[in-house]
Each structure stands twice: as structure tokens, then as C-alpha cells.
A and B are shown apart, each in its own frame.
Chain A
């Protein structure tokens, strides 16, 4: 019984460590996808002048992962409701909260951009898109740096903490 409990505790701590490590592994990838999506949006606005709902759906089909789901949701919501773009993004972020490994800062960049989408002329929107893109790029680089250090740390720390607690309680 004692052994069974110890094994459960150890596995739980290991799992927790792996989950934390996955956060650091997924965040740079999702930031990159987000940046690709913004680039796609840039082309859609600059060359095709696609309406926003259609543009978002098109982008969603081009990328993959949870970000694609986010874009598809935003596209369909834009087509159906008459709410502001940044509000829709906020609901989208809360809806996909479980799948997105993005920090508050990352979401803030997107929400700031969304507030300017669809309410001004093409040039202004493109400027904002470029700004958000470069912001995301910076965040991505920082996230990649964090990944190399913290992903490994949590991978090891989880099992070790589990073993420590087991030894303490045994």
C-alpha cells in the first residue's frame, strides 16, 4: 500500500514536471504560428484586399495547430456577429485557453493589433500588422531562449521533487 502510494506520488510529480516542460516547448511554436498567421493576414490585406472574416478563415486553412482553430473561430464569429474584432479575439482566447500556451503579454500584443483591424485604411492596418509582427518576433526569441533552459529544468525537476517527497514521507 505504501509502495503504491509512493509510486502514484512519484508519477504525479513527474507528470506535473512534464506538463510544465510542455508549456515551454509549445509557446515558441505557437508564437511562430501566430506570426505566420499575421504574415498571411498582411498579404491578404495588402494584395487581395480580402474582407477580414474570409481572410481569417483562409489563414486558418494555411497553418495548423491550435492557432488555426483560433483563426477559424475568429473568422466565423466576424462573419456572424457585429462585435468589435478585439472583443472577438478576447472571447476566442478564453475559449481556446486550454490549448494555447501563451502568456498574458503575447495575448496583449494580439489584442492591441485586433483593436486596429478593420477600422482604418489599408496602410494604417499594415503598419500595425508589421509592428505586432516584430513584437511577436521578439517574444518568440525570448521564448526560445527560455525553452532551452527551462524545458530541461522542469523535465528533471518533476521526478526529482517526486522522489524527494516520497523519501520524506516514507
Chain B
């Protein structure tokens, strides 16, 4: 059941990944390593938040399929 909505999420996560990588690279190039690490961590958390919803939906669907309520 892959609709255009779920493909959008893939692109969104990919975009965030690219931008976070770029930002952390910039921080690293100006010797601000701690900021670079924080940005990476923030990116991971943001993406996790997006994905957790979808994973929750997945589990709900699995339950429904096997009729575990």
C-alpha cells in the first residue's frame, strides 16, 4: 500500500538528511565540532519523530491483519 503520501515521506527524510549533513559539514569546517554533533543529533531526532508515527501505523496494521486487538 504505497501511496504518493508515503513516497513524500521518503523524500522528506532524504532531504533532511542531506541538509543536516551539509550543515554539520559547515560547522566542522569552521572548527565548531560540538555544533556539528548537535546538528547531527537534532537531525536524527527529527527524522525519528517522523518515522515513529509511520512505524506505529505499521504495527497497528499488522495487528489488524492478524486480528490481535
Contact = CB atoms under 8 A, between A and B. Distances in A.
Interface residues of B, number: 14
A167 interface: yes
Instruction: Decide if the interface of chain B is mainly helix, strand, loop or mixed.
Output: helix
Contacts of A161: 23
Instruction: Decide if the interface of chain A is mainly helix, strand, loop or mixed.
Output: helix
A153 to B, nearest CB: 5
Interface string A123-162: 0000000000000000000000000011011001100110
Say which size band chain A's interface belongs to.
Answer: 10 to 19
B23 A160 contact: yes
Contact of A153 (B19, B20, B26, B46): B26
Nearest to A164: B19
A163 interface: yes
Interface of B: 12, 15-16, 19-20, 22-23, 26-27, 29-32, 46
